[in-house]
Amino acid sequence: MTQTQPTDHIDNMLHETRVIEPPADFVARARVSREEYDRRYRQSLDDPDAFWTGVASELTWTQPWSQVLDWQEPHARWFVGGQTNLAYNALDRNVERGLGNKRAFIWEGEDGEVRTYTYAELLGEVKRAANALLDLGVTVGDRVTLYLPLVPEAAIAMLACARIGAVHSVVFGGFSVSALSDRINDASSKLLITADAGQRRGGLVNLKANADEAAKSTPTLEHILVVCRAGCDVEMQPDRDVWWHEALAGAGEEHEAAALDSEHPLFVLYTSGSTGKPKGVLHTTGGYMVGTYLTTGTVFDLREDDIFWCTADVGWITGHSYSVYGPLLNGATTVLYEGAPNHPDWGRFWEVVQKHRVTILYTAPTAIRSFMRQGDAIPAQYDLSSLRLLGSVGEPINPEAWMWYARVIGGGRCPVVDTWWQTETGSIMLTTLPGAHASKPGSAGLPMFGIELAIMTHDGQELGPDDGGLLVIKRPWPSMLRTVYGDDERYRKTYWGEIPHVYFAGDGARRDADGYVTVVGRVDDVLNVSGHRLGTMEIESALVAHPSVAEAAVVGRPDEVKGECVVAFVLPQGGQTVEPHELRAYVTREIGALARPDAIIIADALPKTRSGKIMRRFLRQIAAGQPIQGDTSTLEDPSVLERLAETPAV
Ligand code: WT7
């Protein structure tokens, strides 16, 4: 099942040799110098207890830990016996150290409406929200699902959960009704927090209507809390549905953050794997807090007056760690922007940068490539001189896009950090530090403090410089996932069972003689479409659920903008005709628009081995328009390949 699948732009990276030194003035002021990185990295591996004690002690604990790490492979407990509260550290602690009047969030809606929250104001809102949740019967350990647009209430609800020890599960607002109800049921959530509607590209996304539909099959849900975002008409079911603003208005102002065990569950976030069912990645309080606190401060060289903008939605891990928790733990000012990068036009992001004097921008390669396509003239119309540092995340960035980002958006004066990590890792694992390291475009760089990694063969042999293999992490780190919610066996198998005694990331990578790691992409049946993870099996299950489809196989095809796009091979049910537009609409309804196939190939047979296994390797070649390579003799009927290659996609 595990095989590397290099794509075209990754091939280009193999020939990339540029080394770009960080600008001298950036280096002169940087929080972490080259020497400092070397010293701290060495300490983090040689004396991890001392290293992590140092970092964790910068935050407030109501009870100190008695042991830094308890590792019973594959289960880690960090800061054992310690008690703390993440929301306290993100808010109260900052107010207590004099940042009460500093802006925590600058939120801008798609329509240009701006709302700001100081640390003191945000704390006040979170306290009220915490009381509102308690009033609705949510108690410590209960699960709460969030299905919201990127409005301040999303972050407030997350922090309120963290404050009372409820476990949040954020479901991206672009997911479908059935994706939502599956996730509510998997977590047995008691409460759903949604909005009347979200605004997207000038239109409305009817979240409450979806929530109502989902709630027909979610027996554990007791209440739905509804944020009024769009002001549109929604049906409110008496006894079940409550308006957010009314609940908060009726809630008490005072709330003391609950003292929670370091290993108290903080959140579940669903992500796609190589089976049809998404995994609920579980993160816990203390370790996740320490990991996001450390990486936000050091990777982004964060200082007092920065305006930090991570463009991710809170529905993804990037939004959790670098729009909400990491920046707040550092007392930073963060921009939250509700809309799409191209509405009403492709200048929208640059308008936000100019208007709020953003100093650090963290976005995805797919967005960068889309901007690049629109040309240099659009960003040139805006004043981007406030920017001092740029970040990239979510998928490999091709050197061309890296160079464009640095030159056109960064004006040649901003370092670019390419950060590799995952929903499971909780925080950044691989990057360069902007004032310490030269960049090699296309290569994420070096391990963060405490991260010991290796490139291995499938049977656990460590590979030397420049050999391609599997990316693994050799020891536990504080912000690692603790398990797959409700399925510890899957956790063991997926992450610690592929190669003995190491964490298997699911990515292919190689490391050069300087230690720089280049991540080339997934080695499992997971696609990365515009920086979003999608399981091929998930899309296949959706397709075969359609009455006109007998069988389906989904593969990725390299795409200039999205990184990868979805190609579906579909076998019609005897005598039926498959309507491509109907299938696309069906997948959108079943999973969400992000899983919509870009190309559909209607087939009369799929390439299978005699034992009935679909050979996706050949389908990938056909989808990419490449000649068939490899041994076709194990196929039941090799002539299928030629017929497929000649069938035009619809
Ligand atoms: C997968 C994780 C946590 C970031 C948001 C995505 C790919 C992520 C990079 C990068 C190359 C990257 C990997 C990884 N990926 N960042 N800088 N360079 N690949 O989180 O949805 O959990 O996806 O995204 O394939 O395994 P995610």
Give the ligand 1 atom nearest the CA of 423. 22
Q: Provide DSSP, 151-172.
A: SHHHHHHHHHHHHHT-EEEE--
Q: In what order do the strands lie in the sheet with 191-195?
A: 241-243, 223-227, 191-195, 143-147, 167-170, 265-271, 279-284, 483-484
CA distance 332 to 308: 7
Pocket test for ligand 1, best of 533, 534, 562 (most atoms within 8 A of CB): 533
Determine if residue 31 is labeled as part of a ligand binding site.
no
State the pLDDT at residue 542.
Answer: 93
Q: Is 537 helix (H, G, I), strand (E, B) or coil?
A: helix
473 C-alpha to ligand 1 centroid (Å): 15
CA distance 202 to 343: 8
Whether a cis peptide bond, with omega within 30° of 0, leads into 74 is: yes
Give the ligand 1 atom nearest the CA of 418. 17
Give yes or no for a contact between 49 and 436, defined as CB atoms under 8 angstroms apart.
no
62 C-alpha to ligand 1 centroid (Å): 34
**Which protein residue has the closest C-alpha to ligand 1 atom 14?**
422
**Which protein residue has the closest C-alpha to ligand 1 atom 23?**
422
Q: pTM score, two decimals?
A: 0.95
321 C-alpha to ligand 1 centroid (Å): 14
CA distance 175 to 271: 12
Determine if residue 404 is labeled as part of a ligand binding site.
no
423 C-alpha to ligand 1 centroid (Å): 8
CA distance 528 to 519: 13
Using the structure block, give the residue that is written with the tokens 């990295």: 41
Q: Bridge partners of 354?
A: none
State the pLDDT at residue 13.
Answer: 55
CA distance 175 to 163: 27
State the pLDDT at residue 16.
Answer: 72
Give the ligand 1 atom nearest the CA of 420. 17
Task: Tell which residue, 471, 521, 402, 429, has the closest CA to residue 19.
Answer: 402
Give the ligand 1 atom nearest the CA of 425. 3
Determine if residue 239 is labeled as part of a ligand binding site.
no
136 C-alpha to ligand 1 centroid (Å): 37
381 C-alpha to ligand 1 centroid (Å): 31
ipTM above 0.85, yes or no: yes
126 C-alpha to ligand 1 centroid (Å): 30
**Which protein residue has the closest C-alpha to ligand 1 atom 2?**
422
CA distance 562 to 575: 35
Please give the sequence-ordered ranges of beta strands (E in DSSP) within 252-294, or none if there are none: 260-261, 265-271, 279-284
Crossing angle (nearest 10°) for helices 580-590 and 177-187: 30
373 C-alpha to ligand 1 centroid (Å): 23
SS3 of 70-126: the string is: EEECCEEEEEECCEECHHHHHHHHHHHHHHCCCEEEEEECCCCCEEEEEHHHHHHHH
Read off the DSSP letter of residue 396: P
Determine if residue 549 is labeled as part of a ligand binding site.
yes
Give yes or no for a contact between 30 and 434, defined as CB atoms under 8 angstroms apart.
yes
Determine if residue 546 is labeled as part of a ligand binding site.
yes
452 C-alpha to ligand 1 centroid (Å): 18
Ligand 1 pocket (Cβ < 6 Å) reads 271, 317-318, 393-396, 418-423, 444, 505-507, 519, 521-522, 528, 533
519 C-alpha to ligand 1 centroid (Å): 9
Determine if residue 507 is labeled as part of a ligand binding site.
yes
Q: Cβ of 573: how many Cβ atoms within 10 Å?
A: 15
State the pLDDT at residue 648.
Answer: 93
Q: Give CA angle at 305 (302, 306), nearest 5°.
A: 50
State the pLDDT at residue 9.
Answer: 44
**Which protein residue has the closest C-alpha to ligand 1 atom 11?**
396
Determine if residue 124 is labeled as part of a ligand binding site.
no
Q: Bridge partners of 558?
A: 564
71 C-alpha to ligand 1 centroid (Å): 26
State the pLDDT at residue 17.
Answer: 81
Over the chain (650 residues), what is each successive 10-residue block's mean pLDDT? Answer: 40 71 95 97 98 98 98 98 98 98 97 97 98 98 98 98 98 96 98 96 94 98 98 96 98 98 98 88 98 98 97 97 98 96 95 98 97 97 98 96 98 97 98 97 97 97 96 98 98 97 97 96 92 92 94 95 95 91 95 95 93 91 94 92 94
Alpha helices in 497-574, H assignment, sequence order? 536-544
Give yes or no for a contact between 84 and 259, defined as CB atoms under 8 angstroms apart.
yes
Give yes or no for a contact between 605 and 640, defined as CB atoms under 8 angstroms apart.
yes
Pocket test for ligand 1, best of 16, 421, 510 (most atoms within 8 A of CB): 421
Using the structure block, give the residue that is written with the tokens 């069972």: 497
State the pLDDT at residue 113.
Answer: 95
647 C-alpha to ligand 1 centroid (Å): 33
Task: Tell which residue, 448, 456, 488, has the closest CA to residue 472.
Answer: 456
Pocket test for ligand 1, best of 362, 393, 562 (most atoms within 8 A of CB): 393
Determine if residue 318 is labeled as part of a ligand binding site.
yes
Query: Could you tell me the CA-to-CA distances from 26 to 245, 294, 389 in Å, in that order?
Result: 45, 20, 9
CA distance 568 to 597: 6
Determine if residue 423 is labeled as part of a ligand binding site.
yes
Task: Tell which residue, 71, 33, 34, has the closest CA to residue 52.
Answer: 71
State the pLDDT at residue 14.
Answer: 56
Give yes or no for a contact between 471 and 505, defined as CB atoms under 8 angstroms apart.
yes
CA distance 343 to 356: 18
Q: Bridge partners of 551?
A: 571
Determine if residue 559 is labeled as part of a ligand binding site.
no
Q: Provide DSSP, 482-505.
A: -EETT-HHHHHHHHHTTTTTSEEE
**Which protein residue has the closest C-alpha to ligand 1 atom 21?**
533
Give yes or no for a contact between 442 and 455, defined as CB atoms under 8 angstroms apart.
no
Give yes or no for a contact between 441 and 403, defined as CB atoms under 8 angstroms apart.
yes
Determine if residue 47 is labeled as part of a ligand binding site.
no
State the pLDDT at residue 611.
Answer: 84
Give yes or no for a contact between 516 and 553, defined as CB atoms under 8 angstroms apart.
no
Determine if residue 80 is labeled as part of a ligand binding site.
no
First to last CA, the chain: 28
**Parallel, antiparallel or unpaired: strands 114-118 and 360-363:** unpaired
Pocket test for ligand 1, best of 519, 522, 534 (most atoms within 8 A of CB): 519
Task: Tell which residue, 289, 420, 430, 429, has the closest CA to residue 364.
Answer: 420
Give yes or no for a contact between 193 and 244, defined as CB atoms under 8 angstroms apart.
yes
CA distance 423 to 315: 11
